[in-house]
Amino acid sequence: MINLLDFDPAALAAFFAERGEKPFRARQTLRWIHHRLAARVDAMTDLAGATRNALARDAEIRTPAVVRDTVASDGTRKWLLDVGSANAIETVYIPEDDRGTLCISSQAGCALDCAFCSTGKQGFNRNLSVGEIIGQLWHANRTLLADGVSTPWVEHGRHPITNVVMMGMGEPLANFDNVVAAMRLMLDDNAYGLSRRRVTLSTSGLVPAIDRLRDECPVALAVSLHAPNDALRDTLVPINRKYPLSELLAACLRYIERAPREFVTFEYVMLDGVNDAPKQARQLAA
């Protein structure tokens, strides 16, 4: 069965065109899946009966199965999701007074092997599909609504999730096409309708992919820096050996040619005795 979550807006329009359907049918279906969070094709009651029946024969809405659902005392909620072949990913909901943030995974495992990251120690298994990526957002919104989450924006008819950070398992830019397709759904007004400022992608520094992202889908960018010089960053973030700081920072400057300056931020994990000396602070400030 075709998983309708695997289609971004353009791909869904093409899918319906191949079936001889008008473009507005694709938009209707997109709204049912991602805005109304329908779990079944037969729930899409404003589709023509023949269209709905034919679609139900060939397609479904399929998300990864929940292995574990854990809620912390502060309301933070973590889902462990089964993506098959003994692979599991994590999705985390972080509630705040003025927003609901979802941290999404893009890969099962990761090949970059950053020194401080537990996912890298697992090795790389595979890229997640579009459906497995956007399915995390679909699942979180649907589950939180079903559980009666109450926020001012939910009371005004919006989804619980107002912000997405691509900071879960994996390097998002190493799964570029599927991640961008999922982000296009996040941004589409017929789907989740998030602004570019509310979608943040974190990267270890794949320079060519940063340039592609600037051209194709310039959302907010968070760069995993973690060191003020190449010698240390080569150790902490091994991709630096291929794309050193000079190239990475140049890519960031190119990025803000297409996006507001505040769209680029830098992440720096403080590692005791490793990257937190006064000398390194001065290098970072320089």
Angle subtended by helix axes 130-146 and 176-187, to nearest 10: 40
User: Helix, strand, or coil here: 109?
Assistant: strand
**Residue where a domain stops, chosen among 32, 60, 88:** 60
Q: Which residues contact 167 (CB under 8 A, 6 or more apart)?
A: 103, 104, 200, 202, 222
| pLDDT tops 90 at residue 148 | yes
Q: Could you tell me which of 24, 65, 61, 67 has the C-alpha nearest to residue 46?
A: 24
Which segments of 7-151 does DSSP mark as H helices, in order? Answer: 9-18, 23-30, 49-58, 118-121, 130-146
Span 34-68, pLDDT tens digits: 999 999 999 999 999 999 999 999 999 999 999 99
The verdict on 51 and 151 lying in the same domain is no
Regarding whether 36 and 154 lie in a shared domain, the answer is: no
Query: Is residue 40 located within the same domain as residue 70?
Result: no
CA distance 64 to 54: 24
Say if residue 31 is in the same domain as residue 118: no
Residue 29 CA, distance from chain mean position = 22
Average confidence score pLDDT of the chain: 96
Domain boundary among 26, 44, 60: 60
> Rounded CA gap, 169 and 172, in Å?
9
Do 45 and 112 have their domain in common? no
* 110 CB-near residues (< 8 Å, 6+ apart): 117, 119, 120, 122, 123, 124, 169, 170, 171, 174
Q: What is the DSSP pairing of strand 124-127 with strand 163-166?
A: unpaired
Based on the domain organization, do 278 and 139 belong to the same domain?
Answer: yes
Same domain, 8 and 132: no
Contact 62, 5 (CB under 8 A): yes
| Cβ(107)–Cβ(128) below 8 Å | yes
Are residue 118 and residue 50 in the same domain, yes or no?
no
Banded model confidence at residue 249, pLDDT cuts 50, 70, 90: very high
- Please tell me whether residues 105 and 185 are part of one structural domain: yes
> Percent of the chain having pLDDT more than 90?
94
Which domain covers residue 11, as residue numbers? 2-60
d(CA 224, CA 252): 12
Q: What is the mean pLDDT of residues 174-188?
A: 99
The burial of 148, by beta-carbon neighbours within 10 Å (0-12 exposed, 13-18 middle, 19 or more buried), is given as exposed
The larger pLDDT score, comparing residue 258 to residue 211, is at 211
E strand or H helix at 183: helix 176-187
Q: Model confidence over 54-109: pLDDT tens digits?
A: 999 999 999 999 999 999 999 999 999 999 999 999 999 999 999 999 999 999 99
pLDDT at position 34 is 98
Q: Are residues 143 and 280 in the same domain?
A: yes
Q: What is the number of domains present in the chain?
A: 2
Domain boundary among 60, 78, 98: 60
User: Contact, 89 vs 169, CB < 8 A?
Assistant: yes
What CATH number is associated with residue 33?
Answer: 1.10.150.530
Q: Tens digit of pLDDT for each residue in 231-246?
A: 999 999 999 999 999 9
Q: Is the pLDDT of residue 196 over 90?
A: yes
What distance in Å separates the CA atoms of residue 81 and residue 85, rounded to the nearest whole number?
Answer: 12
Same domain, 51 and 128: no
CATH of the domain at 208: 3.20.20.70
- Give the tokens for residue 49: 């009966």
Asked whether residue 76 falls in the same domain as residue 48, the answer is no
